[in-house]
Amino acid sequence: MRPLIVAANWKMNTTPAEAGRLASEIAAATDVAGVTRVICPPYVSLAAVASALAGSSAAVGAQNVHAEAMGAYTGEVSAPMLEGLASWCIVGHSERRRDQGEGDALVARKLLRCAEHGLRPILCVGEHLAEREAGSAAATVRGQLEATIAELRRHRAELPPDLVVAYEPVWAIGTGRTARGADAAEMANAIRAVLAEAGADADAIPVLYGGSVTSAAIDEFLAEPSIDGALVGGASLKVEEMAGIVARAGVVAAARQGARQGTTTV
């Protein structure tokens, strides 16, 4: 059974002191069986969050990583630098694709660095509003994945076995527009189709929804069997929101586990 995952992306928010306190409060409020929790603070707060989460089952993730292991890249952070601070890493987030012009080939090389240094990657893919309105949402995401896989193979590598994919409908992030559960499920199925064509065990790869997730809206997405959790943005800075999201994920995890056990005992 695929795990239920709730990953918090704090983006460019919190000082180290604030981050440590917030991480501790979230960890205490979200200790729910069956749900993997990941908190991704800014780089400067990684140590504070790692210390705050020590002894808990919540994990620490980075929001990004450089495509090279070292070198003359002022202001950047490499995978070796993250060892001991984080065990997860967001790769290819839509804001980095938009603001830093990150393309699929660069994203693929970041996946390589994650694999080399024990960082479990959350690979973000998704379409813009014009692409959805043109009916090319699935084709856009397919293209992103295929280009990423092609670059990996150019380096004689395949998709990481611990890959997690986050579907981001870019048009629904901070715009007031909302995706529906059926939209996310359709895209999750399209994602797994590409992964299966590439030879990956697609049924074992978690797909998260990441489009302005809130505790009020999460049920619609978790009700879809193909969605395995959420990549949470702004709401992840609020303890009560994270508690609500993780609580709902815990209910779904228990239901899926029960259904699986019922199936296997028949």
Q: Are 140 and 127 in contact (CB under 8 A)?
A: yes
Domain that holds residue 120: 4-265
Give the residue numbers annotated as catalytic, written as ranges. 93, 168
Q: What is the pLDDT of residues 124-172, one digit of tens each?
A: 999 999 999 999 999 999 999 999 999 999 999 999 999 999 999 998 8
**Whether this model's pTM surpasses 0.85:** yes
The number of distinct structural domains making up the chain is 1
Q: What is the mean pLDDT of residues 200-218?
A: 95
- CATH code of the domain containing 126: 3.20.20.70
| The predicted structure's pLDDT at residue 266 | 40
| The predicted structure's pLDDT at residue 1 | 82
